[in-house]
């Protein structure tokens, strides 16, 4: 279960909304946080330029600072009650975004424009996207597209279309995602914004990776890297190197994967991109786990876990729970593996993340296989395969086939074991997943030698 950076969410609301927002966090430190928040926000609120909202570098930095301050409110309670508290906090922020659309003039004392409303719609949508409220996010993104088209604002329209493409990608609706991405690319090109073109190339590359086309994935990653070099875009360089690390890991080129991740990490540190750092630590942990270096895997999962707690990132935290559960299963602790998988599934269900749910069902199948509960294991492997297929994720299907085949092998059902292992082998070969292919073929030969 590889992880990528999700779209951030920004809090463009005035101090008058903070007291109401804080009340949703039942934390005895809220009053102290509130005093600090108000003082800090007063230091830079005047830098906001609502005529350029989200476009000016100083404004963007102010927004990032405000975002970090708000996250402090959720920090302690997040650790105690991850899903309801962090998600309710974000949902309240989204509600206030929508309230801001109706009371913008009154709240700021500055006449609002249609352009500002379109930009704010995108921020509302970003928040819903983070929450997993994808239908609500799409509704607002399309409103932004319509308004931007009426105003002739190409970059705003392109930005909204990019996010719409990302949602279709999350739902594994590749054709729809590509349509939105291509239209967004054309608009960004016309506006001369090559950095965003590079970002979309990176997203498209990851789409092809998920659908199993590594050749096209690498093609788009290289196009993104070229633009990152031409524009000296540190963020894009970090993102693409991280994605190339994921592909190298899947191909079994583990040293190469670690090198890519190590190239990304200092760039994220320079950018103070905590989410990027957390993602890289998580993926490095996966690579070490694939090498069966459990100590390093645990170390890097912990680094990622700490950062996720600091920023209130629920989705990546769930991935850490899921991957740590696999670690405990390898260390013959199925009870701890089950506990962590349950935590992960709770979050993924709340976020309506079907692909990640498929991963957890596969883990449940392995846990039950370990306990020799064959019938229950079969149910979860079938459920996992069905979800992977519905998401058009051949890598996940291949991995589930492999694990399912091993279940039948443990059960001494050689016929079904051969059937599923050969299916896995065919898919891994198509995906150029050399290390995975090597392992499954070893299992096939083991069965054949016993027949």
Tokens of 154: 């190409």
Contacts for 150 with CB less than 8 Å, ≥ 6 apart = 114
Q: Locate 357 and state its tokens.
A: 């749910």
pLDDT > 70: percent of the chain? 74
Length of the chain: 451
pLDDT, one tens digit per residue, over 372-391 is 999 999 999 999 999 999 88
The gap from C-alpha 152 to its chain's centroid, in whole angstroms, comes to 32
Please tell me the least confidently modeled range out of 30-44, 264-278, 350-364, 410-424: 30-44
d(CA 208, CA 229): 22
* Burial letters 319-354, b for 16+ CB under 10 A, else e: bbbbbbbbbbbeeeebeebbebbebbbebbbbbebb
How many angstroms separate the most distant Cα atoms in the chain? 81
Band of the pLDDT at 347, cuts 50, 70, 90? confident
The better pLDDT of the pair 84, 145 is held by 145
Top-ranked range on mean pLDDT: pick from 90-94, 113-117, 174-178, 274-278? 274-278
What value does the mean pLDDT take over residues 127-150?
84
Say yes or no to pLDDT of 73 above 50: no
**Which CATH number is 156-232 given?**
1.25.40.10
Give the C-alpha separation, 294 to 331, whole Å.
Answer: 9
Contact 90, 136 (CB under 8 A): no
Number of H helices, E strands in the chain: 21, 0
* CATH 1.25.40.10 domain locations along the chain: 156-232, 328-451
Q: For residue 176, report the phi and psi dihedrals to the nearest 5 degrees.
A: -65, -40
The pTM of the full predicted model, rounded to 2 decimals, is 0.70
pLDDT mean over 88-104:
49
How is residue 1 annotated by DSSP? -
Nearest-CA neighbor of 220 among 241, 236, 204, 209? 204
Locate the DSSP E strands across 68-115: none
Q: pLDDT-based confidence at 94, cuts 50/70/90? A: low
**CB under 8 Å to 119, separation ≥6 — which residues?**
53, 54, 144, 156
pLDDT digits (tens, 9 = 90+) for 194-248: 999 999 999 999 888 877 788 889 899 999 999 998 988 999 999 999 999 998 9
Q: Pick the closest to residue 394 from 210, 259, 256, 263 (CA basis).
A: 210
CA 80, distance to chain mean position in Å, is: 22
| Nearest alpha-carbon partner for 169 in 353, 432, 357 | 353
pLDDT class of 354 with cuts at 50, 70, 90? confident
pLDDT at 44 over 60: no
CB 124 within 8 A of CB 97: yes
What value does the mean pLDDT take over residues 3-26?
A: 37
355 pLDDT above the threshold of 60: yes
| Cα–Cα distance for residue pair 84/92, rounded to 1 Å | 12
Mean per-residue pLDDT for 92-107?
48
What mean pLDDT is predicted for residues 334-346? 93
In this structure, what token pair is assigned to residue 9? 């969410």
Domain covering 328-451 in this structure, CATH number: 1.25.40.10
| H-only helix segments in 312-393 | 314-330, 334-350, 354-370, 374-390
Asked if 260 and 251 count as a contact pair (C-beta separation under 8 A), the reply is no
Q: Are the C-beta atoms of residues 77 and 85 closer than 8 Å to each other?
A: yes
Residue that wins the pLDDT comparison between 378 and 312: 378
Structure confidence at residue 34 (pLDDT): 42
Q: Is the pLDDT of residue 92 over 80?
A: no
**Residues 264, 269, 273, 274: what is their CA dihedral angle, to the nearest 10 degrees?**
100
pLDDT at residue 299 tops 60: yes
Flag whether pLDDT at 104 surpasses 60. no
DSSP tag of 15: G
Instruction: Compute φ and ψ for 351, nearest 5 degrees.
Output: -85, 0
SS3 letters across 356-377: HHHHHHHHHHHHHHHCCCHHHH
> How confident is residue 131, by pLDDT bands cut at 50, 70 and 90?
low
The pLDDT value given to residue 436: 87
Query: Of the given ranges (83-92, 156-165, 364-373), which has the lowest mean pLDDT?
Result: 83-92
Q: Which stretches does DSSP call E strand in 16-155?
A: none
CA-to-CA distance for 101 and 97, rounded, in angstroms?
Answer: 7
pLDDT band at 14 (very low <50, low <70, confident <90, very high): very low
Min mean pLDDT across 185-194, 205-214, 350-359, 435-444 is at 205-214
Q: Strand, coil or helix: what is 393?
A: coil
């Amino acid at each position: 279960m590889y992880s990528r950076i999700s779209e951030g969410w920004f809090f463009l609301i005035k101090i008058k909304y903070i007291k109401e927002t804080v009340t949703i966090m039942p934390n005895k430190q809220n009053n102290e946080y509130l005093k600090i928040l108000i003082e800090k926000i007063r230091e830079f609120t005047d830098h906001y330029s609502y005529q350029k909202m989200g476009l000016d570098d100083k404004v963007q930095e102010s927004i990032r600072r405000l975002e970090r301050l708000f996250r402090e409110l959720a920090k302690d309670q997040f650790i105690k009650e991850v899903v309801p508290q962090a998600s309710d906090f974000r949902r309240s922020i989204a509600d206030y975004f929508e309230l801001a659309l109706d009371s913008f003039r009154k709240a700021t004392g500055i006449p609002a424009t249609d352009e500002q409303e379109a930009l704010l719609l995108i921020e509302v949508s970003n928040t819903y996207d983070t929450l997993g409220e994808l239908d609500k996010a799409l509704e607002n993104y399309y409103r932004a597209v319509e308004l931007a088209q009426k105003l002739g604002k190409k970059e705003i329209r392109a930005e909204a279309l990019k996010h719409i493409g990302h949602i279709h990608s999350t739902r594994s609706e590749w054709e729809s995602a590509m349509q939105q991405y291509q239209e967004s690319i054309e608009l960004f090109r016309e506006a001369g914004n090559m950095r965003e073109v590079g970002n979309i190339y990176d997203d498209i590359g990851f789409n092809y990776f998920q659908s199993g086309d590594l050749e096209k994935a690498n093609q788009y990653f290289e196009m993104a890297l070229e633009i990152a070099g031409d524009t000296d875009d540190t963020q894009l360089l970090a993102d693409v190197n991280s994605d190339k690390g994921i592909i190298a890991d899947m191909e079994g080129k583990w040293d190469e994967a670690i090198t890519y991740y190590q190239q990304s990490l200092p760039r994220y540190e320079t950018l103070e991109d905590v989410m990027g750092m957390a993602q890289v630590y998580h993926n490095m942990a996966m690579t070490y786990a694939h090498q069966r270096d459990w100590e390093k895997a645990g170390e890097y999962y912990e680094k990622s876990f700490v950062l996720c707690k600091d920023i209130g990132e629920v989705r990546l935290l769930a991935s850490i729970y899921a991957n740590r559960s696999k670690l405990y299963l390898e260390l013959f602790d199925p009870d701890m593996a089950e506990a962590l998988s349950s935590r992960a599934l709770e979050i993924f269900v709340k976020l309506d993340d079907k692909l990640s749910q498929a991963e957890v069902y596969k883990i449940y199948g392995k846990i039950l296989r370990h306990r020799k509960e064959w019938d229950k294991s079969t149910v979860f492997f079938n459920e996992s395969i069905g979800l992977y297929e519905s998401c058009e994720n051949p890598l996940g299907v291949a991995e589930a086939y492999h694990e399912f085949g091993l279940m039948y092998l443990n059960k001494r059902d050689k016929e079904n074991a051969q059937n599923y292992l050969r299916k896995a082998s065919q898919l891994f070969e198509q995906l150029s997943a050399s290390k995975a292919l090597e392992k499954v073929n070893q299992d096939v030969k083991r069965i054949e030698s016993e027949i």
